[in-house]
Each structure stands twice: as structure tokens, then as C-alpha cells.
Amino acid sequence: MTGGAINLLSVTYSIDNSTGVTQFAAVVQGASDSSCKLPTAQNAAQFLGFTQASQANQNGSVPVMRLGISAAVAGGAINRGDHVAINSTAGDVYSVETVVASGVNNPAKAFNVVGTAENTVANVGDIVYVYIKPELIALAVS
């Protein structure tokens, strides 16, 4: 994607994490209405958006893109058009396309998809542009 991010809605939150947060990390609901935090696990729920700047200080302000196309940090290879979800506590994203496309999972599982990839990336740490479109995709047992 050559045009970069397209910001339709950005909201400023305070960051709950004592170590702060990096730029382009996926964040989830924080302890209060006006705060956010890094996810605590893969496939975390309560996705808010992607940070648009780094913030080293706990309780410091960080802009979070809630609607639009945002840069995000890839947790591995992702193809353009893939559904992506939160990969780790670092706030990176990974492709869940193969399992979502199959429609089944063993055991049954729900994926907290945060959006779809706008470009293809090959490596951990690459920048992938994500069309923000949070949704829950529940898969039955295969």
C-alpha cells in the first residue's frame, strides 16, 4: 500500500501499562473509559484500535485510530485480504485467514478479528496496513 494510513476517527486515551506502548500496537479497553492497554493474550477481546504514536509513560496520552486504515506490526506472514487478529501481548497482529476460511476449528473457537490486511508482508515486525473492522467470528468443531 503506497498511500499509508487513512484516519477516519482517532481518539486519545491514556495508557494503563507501566512500560507504556509502542507505535502501531493493537490496544484493548483499559481500566477506565478513557484508558487503553496492551492485550493480555493472543486473540484478545475488547479491541479499541491501533496506537499512532509511542508513549513511554504510564497514564500518558496516546492517539488510537479507531476507524480507517492503520499501520500495524505484523506477527508473521500476512497476505493482502487476510482477516487479522491480535497475536501477542506486544499488540502485533497475525493472519487467521486459513482457519476462518475453513469455517471449522477443533476445538470450537471464536476469533476476535480486528480487520483485514491491505498489503502483503512476509516477516515478523513488518508493517501491515489494516482496514479496521472488528468482528467476532465463531467457528464450529470440525
The string of pLDDT tens digits covering residues 84-139 is 999 999 999 999 999 888 888 878 888 999 999 999 999 999 999 999 999 999 98
Residues in the chain: 142
pLDDT tens for 28-37 read 999 999 999 9
Percent helix / strand / coil, the chain, rounded to 5: 5, 50, 45
Q: Which three cell numbers stand for residue 95?
A: 493472519
CA distances from 127 to 16, 17, 71, 121 (A): 24, 23, 6, 7
